[in-house]
Amino acid sequence: MVAIRDWTREWWQRERGKYELVTSVAVLDELRQGEHSGQENKIRLLESARLLPVVVETDSLVEAYLDHQLMPRNNLADARHLAVATFHRCDFLLTWNCRHLANGNKLRHLRKINGDLGLPSPELVTPLELMEDPQ
């Protein structure tokens, strides 16, 4: 966990300026749930990101992902994050969730589903994968 935190901080300091950062209300809502370490700092970091709207079309994408068992039905938040990134044609979805998102098997499955729907797929990556020269 310490390494993940450090890599994330390093990416944020060194690399974020190379990308247009976007987020959604779904991400902010998830960050606001419960109480956790650094919660306000995490929310504050995303204030500079452009807010992507969660539109009705993303609901049908969420259902498609769940229907095709891309992720479990009890994992609506991850499905929604992915649907928003897909609908808005984001190049990347940056996450440390390697179980349901940044996972090569999931990416292959996602590309098949989105291909059938005529949609591009964002690359599902960790901050470490987007660092030019990880320390």
Within 10 Å of residue 17's Cβ, how many Cβ atoms? 8
For residue 4, the model assigns a pLDDT of 85
Q: Are 94 and 130 in contact (CB under 8 A)?
A: yes
Give how many domains the chain has, as a whole number: 1
For residue 94, the model assigns a pLDDT of 92
Tokens read off for 71: 């992720």
Owning domain of residue 89: 2-130
Residue 95, domain member (yes or no): yes
How far apart CA 76 and CA 53 sit, in angstroms, is 17
For residue 80, the model assigns a pLDDT of 93
For residue 36, the model assigns a pLDDT of 80
Residue 59, domain member (yes or no): yes
**Exposure string for 108-133, b = 16+ CB within 10 A, e = fewer:** ebbeebbeeeebebbebbbbeebeee
Please tell me whether the overall predicted TM-score, pTM, comes out greater than 0.85 for this model: yes
Mean pLDDT score of the chain, rounded to an integer?
Answer: 90
Residue 135, domain member (yes or no): no
Write the CATH number for 124.
3.40.50
Residue 63, domain member (yes or no): yes
